[in-house]
Structure 1
């Protein structure tokens, strides 16, 4: 018995030892090791700015380096920044995908959760021959800066300084950050030293031009800054002197960990040092924040300039002839290429990196750009083509890096021309195809039925759906055998089995939707028929390759806000009466009407149609895949998906639509609805007759139709499909073509 007990203890001891070893492996941080140069006093350096180039120490030599990277956001669908949402497993999977794409660096904007740094250290421990590096950003107190309009406000300055110290400590695994549920900031215990995998620092965010000017105006006599590692030059303005102090603090804090890395501050076209004479909006050319007005002192890693440069904003990219002087490789006059060269030429003695560029793959559009490089309106393939061309242009212009915005889609984002239509604290819970800002990623985050309900004219996937995931609509209409409905976080889906194959040359198919009391009970599309309850929106399929969704004139948010309230375009007051019979095209504003003295010259109001519904195939595995495909018909099967906002929803997860009542010039009332009534009909193009219901003088009883309804959902209910977009493949191709900086 004694011997047995001893033997059992030995076995238990061995098991405990193995278990303890596993625990130690997962809890004890592996050592981060990279080849580096020692520059004296125990200070290591892996990257440095040398002249106009960034260099990397590798194989015992300083070699030219070109940053090929992606910006990475802080969250996933169903969550807002600051929530513990992205797991270590997510990060490690993403790191592998980024390197497979050809990326050598990730740029993050702020302190992320400890899981990011742990995952990077663990990932690189397995890939010591080819580690993945990162650029750490430090988020400035943006909202407080924009409210105070004074960077020297003691509370703001202290807040930013503390954020810098916290960021450095977190990178080197020496931070304990307390949780603040209202701040949206990361928190936790930072144990993993990711410092050796750091490529550099980018301090701050895009600077509000009026805040910069006000800071300069309020502090004209602030002395030049002479710090330990960074100085401001005599020509520096007060805001630039403030930045010199922040950059110097970053350097001083990092030095105690025995490392130096190149440092930049964030900047964008709005506050660049160039003149934009053709820019209509004064604020976009109001003040400069000039990186050449700072210089490193006793900082061997050096200093570089960082800019966010997009091809569609500000408007001078489209309108300013002085930036239309260079032709691209296709022989087209190209303002983006011209700007890149002018910006690079200005910075004669320091490296410059484009740390944000890109276009989104989305239904919505927020700005129009030259050569079709719009902020939105692209499918995944065109997104990739445009991103790849910009990447190549940045490289050819002699920059030290091109960091694509962005890695993953983030549903919580807002866009200036849709943010008045949706509910802010619900944005993360649904996929709003009109909010382009959410869809810059090359890693798509798609709604949950992305692979379950394909828009391809094949009804077999509907047969596979569970009963609770679909609903047969008991609508008796000539020309329709069956109509089914379903939904997910992004779309309302409809599948109709028709009596005959759909022939858009001879037929028009309509789906009216009713969510509220009011709307159009008659319309030209009804050809004399009337309804007992009005329609808010109308899907119209009357062309072979595209359709569109329209919106009742008195419900039309765009006309109510920019026409009726703001007077930016003429409207007929009668259009806002109930039952006008008018359905307007679904539009989004892309330019406000501007007039002096608010602008340099008169700039017209402009908008774009976003309700166009393309015919195509939504199956990402199919060679004919088009990410913007919204309907398809094959034989007797017609399938369609409709983005929620195009149906009037400010938040489908709480079943809230925009109501007919306006609260003022800049906002709308929301109303919770029980669901959607859907009424279909078919029109014969030859006879112009509605063939779907009997000829009758009585209004069709829409009010008696059953609702398609659904349970509300919360963050825990959000499901999504993660997959690389076609733009991932295109960026992979161009990134793997380019390994070194271009000689210029």
Structure 2
């Protein structure tokens, strides 16, 4: 009897342990979420109905407006393929996103398993108010552009497999093997995020030449008739290919007992509208029309997804046929007109604008109407523009507005700065001239952002450790002492002046020497000569605005766009010690000429070296994220963006160089560091060097070099919501649902 009892006791213990283990592994699948069930037990939580998206809630179908943010996969110091974001970060971000008023997040590709685990855990703790997911599927973008044929068998096989992998990953039913150097996520996907899915977006923005070539190569391909989706008569070859891919997603998902609305990614460049005032043929050469695809056996339905920014393509600024409507402020607004034209054209299905927004950055890449430029905004301006665009999208009757984007990502590139930086090291530093990195409402700021404020108060410098700052041993009349430090974004200067700053009497200059050459004389030197040249210099001669100058022989902008928009450079400007400093400029559009474009437009550029006076302490009511200097009494503080000093990568001390005095091909040179050359000017002369003899040059070469250790894995950054976060939050909270039709 005793032996039998022990046997049953052991068996019971084994069963309890087994049950516990089973529950542990299956607990992610026990998800409670309200939905409806259609034939064969298939669950549906969201569906399309006419021109609206609907959610099943409180035992009824209700109109739904998706207000959310896109989310990337990178943090400072890392590229997207490294998948460095932790589960804890995701859970914290989900909370912040929901507190901002969003009800959905959109991701572009398969995320790592921790993302889905974090989302499930977060939503299980918030069952009555979950944060939903729009899952994207990344298309073979580079291969499509390279082969110019979407029907290439390798491309089709790869994309269909990516779709199936994405569906399996969302439902927690796959293990993806690592693919070295692919940038793809891998691991065991065990958490079922499917019940928290709002919809699918298949693919990325489509390159128009590839679409056109695919249509030409496969003009006679028959209509696609799938299990759940088909192409309509009149669809072009690429649209039939997309019908196949959308149907592939449906076939993959239904195996898991669910249906969700599906779309493919699209953008203005391949929309079905005509843009008669668009100068570039490529931006209006081909259409990809979502209305040429329809669901045949998919209760969850189908919707259209577009990326729409107010500054690109150029017709938003140039095309008078889109300058026919006024916005809610009574202003002629091409963005308003576009939204209404697209909605009117696509009249039989829901449309979401799944990317929109502007960045908070010093750099600008395109100009838009009403100041909605791609960059050049501080955080408050970013928030106000984003809130206005959100309200316009909602007011025009769309089914969703997904802001680009949640977090800043340092690794990104922009067309007008990519020639100047090192593509393999962009993730290691904060380049405020590369606007593409700073669309986020969650700021990722350089390491001293929360300890060193530009405010004319030296007390925070006193808190820095001795190894974090350096006093420059420079004897310059008008300056009592000068300190310097740096971080991932800026070189910082703090100067104690001999008297309070008064730009009506005196101008303050800081010259920068990084490599051999540059100007040893110039009007800004007011008769002083140097024994070593300056590549750039900062001038403070105005109460509110400073300026960064660049030596003409080092003017990277003029060299890059010589004969490509800018006139031929005067040969004397390419000479060492030309004596000419020029404004630091960035291109915003190429010169456009027939027959390469429909219309002729001149080359466009803007000054990037304007340095605003202001305060960088975010707790102040007058905080300005673009502020670069401030002075209070005798204390002057500055922060100088690395690229404005010619750095292509400060993390490796690399500066921009080119192949000789007549060359326009850029390379890099490793600098020892920087020499800072300070002086003041009054009444047309340098203070303390009145009547200086040119034969007795100022000894720049003997000044101390400020240098630093190369950084890579130890990138320091500060995560903080921008002012735009709170402005967007207020705008989102005002939107309860879709506009009634």
C-alpha deviations, 1:249-302, integer Å up to 9, x for none?
Answer: 000000000000000000000000000000000000000000000000110000
C-alpha deviations, 1:609-659, integer Å up to 9, x for none?
Answer: 010000000000111100000000001100000000001010000000011
Whether the 8 Å contact between 1:524 and 1:581 is mirrored in structure 2 is yes
Q: Which residue of 2 aligns with 1:413?
A: 412
SS at 1:424's partner residue?
coil
1:734 aligns with 2:740: no
C-alpha deviations, 1:57-86, integer Å up to 9, x for none?
Answer: 000000000001000001100000121310
Q: Which residue of 2 aligns with 1:73?
A: 72
Whether the 8 Å contact between 2:98 and 2:131 is mirrored in structure 1 is yes
Q: Which residue of 2 aligns with 1:256?
A: 255
Whether the 8 Å contact between 1:71 and 1:107 is mirrored in structure 2 is yes
Distance, in Å, in 1 between the alignment partners of 2:140 and 2:664 is 26
**Structure 2: gaps of 5 or more residues:** 1-12
Q: Which residue of 2 aligns with 1:11?
A: none
Q: Which residue of 1 aligns with 2:301?
A: 302
1:688 aligns with 2:676: no
Deviation, 1:601, is 1.2
Q: Which residue of 2 aligns with 1:148?
A: 147
Distance, in Å, in 1 between the alignment partners of 2:664 and 2:233 is 44
Q: CA distance change for structure 1 residues 662 and 316 in 2, over 3 Å: closer, same or farther?
A: farther
Quick one: which of 708, 723, 737 aligns to 2:720? 723
Distance, in Å, in 2 between the alignment partners of 1:448 and 1:24 is 44
Deviation, 1:706, is 0.7
Matches within 5 A, 1:517-528: 517-528=516-527
Q: Which residue of 1 aligns with 2:588?
A: 590
Whether the 8 Å contact between 2:559 and 2:664 is mirrored in structure 1 is no
Distance, in Å, in 2 between the alignment partners of 1:568 and 1:179 is 47
Q: Which residue of 2 aligns with 1:575?
A: 573
Q: CA distance change for structure 1 residues 26 and 579 in 2, over 3 Å: closer, same or farther?
A: farther
C-alpha deviations, 1:202-223, integer Å up to 9, x for none?
Answer: 0000000000000001111111
SS at 2:730's partner residue?
helix
Between 667-676 and 636-645, report the one with greater CA deviation.
667-676
Q: Which residue of 2 aligns with 1:216?
A: 215
Q: Which residue of 1 aligns with 2:4?
A: none
Q: TM (normalized to structure 2)?
A: 0.96
SS at 1:82's partner residue?
helix
Distance, in Å, in 2 between the alignment partners of 1:116 and 1:141 is 22
Deviation, 1:694, is 6.3
Deviation, 1:373, is 0.1
Which runs of structure 1 show a deviation greater than 6 angstroms over 4 or more consecutive aligned residues? 20-24, 662-666
Q: CA distance change for structure 1 residues 139 and 663 in 2, over 3 Å: closer, same or farther?
A: farther
SS at 1:419's partner residue?
coil
Between 78-87 and 116-125, report the one with greater CA deviation.
78-87
Distance, in Å, in 2 between the alignment partners of 1:662 and 1:561 is 14
Distance, in Å, in 2 between the alignment partners of 1:249 and 1:72 is 25
Q: TM (normalized to structure 1)?
A: 0.96
Distance, in Å, in 2 between the alignment partners of 1:26 and 1:707 is 59
Q: Which residue of 2 aligns with 1:9?
A: none
Distance, in Å, in 1 between the alignment partners of 2:83 and 2:322 is 44
Deviation, 1:414, is 0.4
Distance, in Å, in 2 between the alignment partners of 1:447 and 1:26 is 41
SS at 1:127's partner residue?
coil
Whether the 8 Å contact between 1:554 and 1:660 is mirrored in structure 2 is no
Between 284-293 and 596-605, report the one with greater CA deviation.
596-605
C-alpha deviations, 1:431-468, integer Å up to 9, x for none?
Answer: 00000000000000000000111000000000000111
Distance, in Å, in 2 between the alignment partners of 1:665 and 1:143 is 31
Whether the 8 Å contact between 1:318 and 1:335 is mirrored in structure 2 is yes
Distance, in Å, in 2 between the alignment partners of 1:384 and 1:666 is 38
1:622 aligns with 2:632: no
SS at 1:551's partner residue?
strand
Whether the 8 Å contact between 1:30 and 1:121 is mirrored in structure 2 is no
Whether the 8 Å contact between 2:655 and 2:671 is mirrored in structure 1 is yes
SS at 1:167's partner residue?
helix
Q: Which residue of 2 aligns with 1:59?
A: 58
Matches within 5 A, 1:266-281: 266-281=265-280
Q: CA distance change for structure 1 residues 324 and 662 in 2, over 3 Å: closer, same or farther?
A: farther
C-alpha deviations, 1:296-344, integer Å up to 9, x for none?
Answer: 0110000000000000000100110100111111111000000000001
Distance, in Å, in 2 between the alignment partners of 1:695 and 1:88 is 66
Q: Which residue of 2 aligns with 1:100?
A: 99
C-alpha deviations, 1:23-59, integer Å up to 9, x for none?
Answer: 9769953622210000110100000010000000000
SS at 1:388's partner residue?
helix
Whether the 8 Å contact between 2:64 and 2:399 is mirrored in structure 1 is yes
Distance, in Å, in 1 between the alignment partners of 2:290 and 2:611 is 45
Distance, in Å, in 2 between the alignment partners of 1:515 and 1:22 is 63
Q: Which residue of 1 aligns with 2:632?
A: 634
Matches within 5 A, 1:433-512: 433-512=432-511
Q: Which residue of 2 aligns with 1:562?
A: 561
Q: Which residue of 2 aligns with 1:515?
A: 514
Matches within 5 A, 1:155-304: 155-304=154-303
Whether the 8 Å contact between 1:30 and 1:122 is mirrored in structure 2 is no
Q: Which residue of 2 aligns with 1:113?
A: 112
Distance, in Å, in 1 between the alignment partners of 2:585 and 2:62 is 51
Distance, in Å, in 1 between the alignment partners of 2:530 and 2:55 is 71
Q: Which residue of 2 aligns with 1:361?
A: 360
Whether the 8 Å contact between 1:30 and 1:125 is mirrored in structure 2 is no
Q: Which residue of 2 aligns with 1:713?
A: 711
Distance, in Å, in 2 between the alignment partners of 1:110 and 1:292 is 24
Whether the 8 Å contact between 1:492 and 1:641 is mirrored in structure 2 is yes
Distance, in Å, in 1 between the alignment partners of 2:526 and 2:160 is 68
Whether the 8 Å contact between 2:264 and 2:305 is mirrored in structure 1 is yes
1:83 aligns with 2:79: no
Whether the 8 Å contact between 2:408 and 2:442 is mirrored in structure 1 is yes
C-alpha deviations, 1:481-526, integer Å up to 9, x for none?
Answer: 1100000000000000001011112110000000010000000011
What RMSD, in angstroms, separates the aligned Cα atoms of the two structures?
A: 1.9
Q: Which residue of 1 aligns with 2:740?
A: 743
